[in-house]
Structure 1
Amino acid sequence: MVGTLTHRILVTGASGFVGTALLRLLEREHAGCKVFAFGHGEGQRNPIDLRDRDAVDGAVREIQPAALVHLAAVAAPSDARNAPRHAWDVNVTGTMNLAESVMRHAPEARFVYVGSSEAYGASFQGATGPLTENAPLRPVNVYGATKAAADLMIGQMSYDGLRAIRLRPFNHTGPGQSDTYVVSDFARQVAEIMLGKREPFIHVGNLEAERDFLDVRDVVRAYSIVAAQDFETGPDCIYNIASGRPRRIRDILGALIAQSGTGIEVREDPEKLRPNEIPVACGDASKARERLNWTPMVPFEQTLADVLGYWRSLR
């Protein structure tokens, strides 16, 4: 790794929860970088559909990025499960369109592919500790399969010259996240009870699963490190972004209820149970600590307080 560069960074998926947090961080801490943001959807800044090969090609040719952080995806496992063909089109074909354009028009650019711990899937079963990047990709749901396929594709393209860095973040949350995700879903329900908007009971799925949770602000700090500095690229440049500590979903809910200071009854909702649930998922981020000098810094209790505060502020 050499010094910080003054260069052009392209962020896809910039209008999403994580993309918004990344843009804030880049603008605050890397003022020497010129950031280009691609969102998707009506009213978004620089809307682009990754499935439109010509549009992607023209945009990359015009911007000539020095680094690209690829966040755009069908990111909710439930959305991918409900529309699998769309998820494959966006998460795999869209990623291919983008990577091919970078190789054609910005071959020196670092391509930061943001994958997912969901790609490990069944490798978590029977694991005796946190998984390293060497664990096989054995996805058990549609979302994990699309992310694993794109991850492998980018790895293969790195042998053909794509200057790739692959990141595999584990579960992350923070203020502003959609209630499609478990922590935000719990926090919204707790906040509504605190505000007197609903009866004092909460609907839940499987509370016994354990997940490796991070604060989104720590996660985007990892993304910004590899985007704004000239790190080594190549087939071996794969990094888990993880805390290394599994947290039981039941304990997370209990912590939110305790922060609320309110008596809340917990009720199981069969519709919230996910198929192919992995009991424990945890990652080893030693490689990111050693090579990227990254480690999570935000206490999880603070993360929960901030998510709960966000939902309370929407009164």
Structure 2
Amino acid sequence: MTTRVLITGVNGFVGTHMCNYLLNKNIQVLGTGRSDSCKIKHKNLQYVKCDLLDSSSVKLLVEMNSFESIIHAAGENNASQSWNDPQMTVKTNAIGTLHLLDALRKKPKAHLKNIVVVSSSHEYGKMETTDKISETFLTVPASPYGWSKYLQTSIAEMYAKSYGFPIVIARTFNLIGPGSQGVCAQFARQVAQIENGLQSPLLMVGNTTVSRDFLDVRDAVEAYWKLLNMHLPAPGEVFNICRGTSYQISEIANKFHKISQTPFAVMVDPKLYSNNEPLTITGNNEKLCNMIDWIPKIELEVSIRDMLLEWRSLTNASRKAGEKN
């Protein structure tokens, strides 16, 4: 059993959930991030500030600390914003990964059990297919973010196949849950504001006809943990992390409508449409489920409820703070 895990990007959406998951298992965690401090405070968590774009800082992190396994979750993850700053997106996701893996290559006696690199289904790009996307599908990225994750995966595969690093690529589809920033979280924020009278009763949405494979982040981190502890079939193996079922955005809006405390109408705003957006994305998780004892457990309705509860709490706190001022 792994006893100390390095989590890069521990303050991020995935990193926070991954850290809490491991701490609940009484696993020692070494967390890194660009912030001065960690959001999580725990006796089994050591935090080290480290910018993966600073190769000397990464080298020092690796040289001065011991760990058996790595969850590499650091990086830029906003596909829409990547169009505005492709250089930073590529540097953070690709060069940051290069710095980490090369520092490990240069460390004497660095005996690692497994390294899980959290990548993205955006590597598949604009895949116009009604079939479930498996790991054998071509990767043809359609955004700067997709290309950055494709480069990240390529770098990880190089170190796996050229240097024998025990790397697993976790090609992750749309993650939702508390702390997320995607379309479902945007809906939750709007509904909470509508309930508090801070927004007119109109849920502003983009293209409601697209379908996405939404998986709760708490299911995803369990999959990462099991990948971290499995016997690798081959270094650099890729696994889809997904539910295996897709939902139209209109369905998501309807689910929020059912649990909202205030009725609202849905209004489509073309400005919210994304560039090069495929109509349907559904992942195939058969390879993952056949390799490890894992299935998605958290229903979509539970994820939506928990996101709305979080945004209700944040909105109420913000409103009360405003009233005091």
Q: So what's the TM-score if we normalise by structure 2?
A: 0.90
AA matched with 2:101:
A
2:227 equivalent in structure 1: 226
2:295 is matched with: 295
Highest RCO, 1 vs 2 (Cα 8 Å, sep ≥ 6): 1
CA shift at 1:271, angstroms?
Answer: 2.3
Contact 2:142 2:276 in 1 (8 A): yes
Given the superposition, is the C-alpha separation of residues 67 and 120 from structure 1 closer, same or farther in structure 2, using an over 3 Å criterion?
Answer: same
Preserved contact between residue 11 and residue 69 of structure 1 (Cα < 8 Å): yes
Partner Cα distance (2:169, 2:78) in 1: 20
Residues 272 and 64 of structure 1, relative CA distance in 2, 3 Å threshold: same
Does 2:36 align with 1:36? no
What is the distance in 1 between the residues matched to 2:73 and 2:236? 20
In 1, the alpha carbon distance for the partners of 2:292 and 2:168 equals 11
The residue aligned with 2:75 is 73
1:175 aligns with 2:175: no
CA deviation after TM superposition for structure 1 residue 185, in Å: 0.2
- Within 5 Å, give how 1:131-150 maps onto structure 2: 131-150=133-152
Q: Shift in Å at residue 233 of structure 1?
A: 5.7
CA distance in 2, matches of 1:288, 1:220: 13
| Deviation of the 1:96 alpha carbon | 0.5
Distance in 2 of aligned mates of 1:104 and 1:166:
21
Which shifted more, 165-174 or 192-201? 192-201
Q: TM-score, normalised by structure 1?
A: 0.92
Query: Which whole-Å CA distance do the structure 2 matches of 1:67 and 1:310 have between them?
Result: 31
> Is contact 1:165-1:233 (8 Å) kept?
no
Once the two structures are TM-superposed, the CA of residue 57 in structure 1 deviates from its matched residue by 1.1
Offset of 1:104 from its aligned partner? 2.2
* 1:26 alignment counterpart: 22
- Equivalent residue pairs, number: 304
- Gapped runs of 5+ residues in structure 1? none
Whether contact under 8 Å (1:212, 1:244) holds in the other structure is yes
The question of whether the paired residues in 2 share the 8 Å contact of 1:210 and 1:249 is answered with yes
CA distance in 2, matches of 1:236, 1:166: 6
1:181-196 superposed matches below 5 A: 181-196=182-197
Deviations 1:117-172 (A, max 9, x none): 111013x21x2411111111111011111001111221122111221111011101
Aligned residue type for 1:165: V
SS of aligned partner of 2:18: helix
The match for 2:93 is 91
